[in-house]
Chains A and B, each alone.
Chain A
Amino acid sequence: AQSVTQLGSHVSVSEGALVLLRCNYSSSVPPYLFWYVQYPNQGLQLLLKYTTGATLVKGINGFEAEFKKSETSFHLTKPSAHMSDAAEYFCAATYSSASKIIFGSGTRLSIRP
C-alpha cells in the first residue's frame, strides 16, 4: 500500500537556524506531493506542491522542497527559522487517477528563541 512517512514527530530548532523536515513516499510511480502547515486550532493550509517539471519547489513563507525520485523523498527546508514558523507540518501524496490523498503523521516544529 502507498504511504507517506515523516521522520521525526517533533523537531526543535533555534530562531535563525536551518529548518529541515523529512518526508518519504512509497511508490515506484512519482506522485503529486504537497506540504501543508497547521497552526493551532486551525485547518491545514497549503505551503507548496510538486506536480511535474522543476524538482525544487518554492512555497510561501520562505519554505521550499526538493523532489528526489531516486530517494523517494520530498524534504521541506527553510534557511532561517522564524518564531512564526512554529506549527505542525504535514506531507501528503496523491496520484493522477486516485481519489485518495495520503497524509504523513505530521511533524511539530518548535522554534527556540
Chain B
Amino acid sequence: NAGVTQTPKFQVLKTGQSMTLQCAQDMNHEYMSWYRQDPGMGLRLIHYSVGAGITDQGEVPNGYNVSRSTTEDFPLRLLSAAPSQTSVYFCASSYRDPPGESPLHFGNGTRLTVT
C-alpha cells in the first residue's frame, strides 16, 4: 500500500519563486491536511480539507494556497516563496471527517529551503 505520497522530497527555492508541493493518498480518506514542522514548534496546521471541493485555513495559512479537486490529491502552493517558509512540510490524511478518533496517516515530508 502506498499510503500518503509526497513529492518532491527536497526542494531549494529562491525568494519570490513559486512551486507546488504534491500530496496524494490512495486510502479513500475524506480528510487531508498540510503541516509545517519547525524546531521547537511541533507541527502547525497550514490548511485542511474535509472532502473534494472543500478547504479551510489552519493556524498558519498566510503565503500558502490549496485546492482539493479530487479525493486523492491535495496540493500545497507557495505563490511567492519567502525565507520564513523554510521548513519541513508534511501531508496527512484521515479516514473520517472530522477526524475525531481516527488517526492521521503521514507522508514522509518535503524539506524546503528558501534562499
Residues on A lying within 8 angstroms of B by beta carbon are: 6, 9, 32, 34, 36, 41-46, 49, 51, 90, 92, 94-101, 103-106
Please, which residues of chain B bring their CB within 8 A of the CB of A42?
108-109
Chain A contact residues: helix, strand, loop or mixed: loop
Write 11 A-B pairs (CB below 8 A) sorted by A numbering. Answer: A9-B40, A34-B103, A42-B109, A43-B107, A44-B104, A90-B43, A96-B100, A97-B98, A101-B45, A104-B42, A105-B40
Contact of B101 among A32, A36, A41, A43 (CB under 8 A): A32
Contact A101 B99 (CB under 8 A): yes
Contact of B42 among A98, A100, A105 (CB under 8 A): A105
Contact A94 B42 (CB under 8 A): no
Please, which residues of chain A bring their CB within 8 A of the CB of B56?
99
Please, which residues of chain B bring their CB within 8 A of the CB of A34?
103-104
Residue of B nearest to A49 (CB): B103
A111 to B3, CA, bound (A): 30
Contact of B63 with A by CB under 8 A:
no
Contact A43 B98 (CB under 8 A): no
Please, which residues of chain B bring their CB within 8 A of the CB of A32?
100-101
Given A43-B4, A43-B90: A100 in contact with B45 (beta carbons within 8 A)? yes
Binary per-residue interface labels of chain B (87-105) against chain A in the complex, 1 for a CB within 8 Å, 0 otherwise: 0001010000111110110
A101 to B109, CA, bound (A): 18
Contact B58 A43 (CB under 8 A): no
A32 to B103, CA, bound (A): 10
Given A94-B98, A97-B98, A99-B56: A105 in contact with B41 (beta carbons within 8 A)? yes
A103 to B99, CA, bound (A): 14
Contact of B98 among A36, A99, A104 (CB under 8 A): A99
Contact B104 A101 (CB under 8 A): yes
**Residues B45-68 near A (CB distance < 8 A):** 45, 48, 50, 56, 58
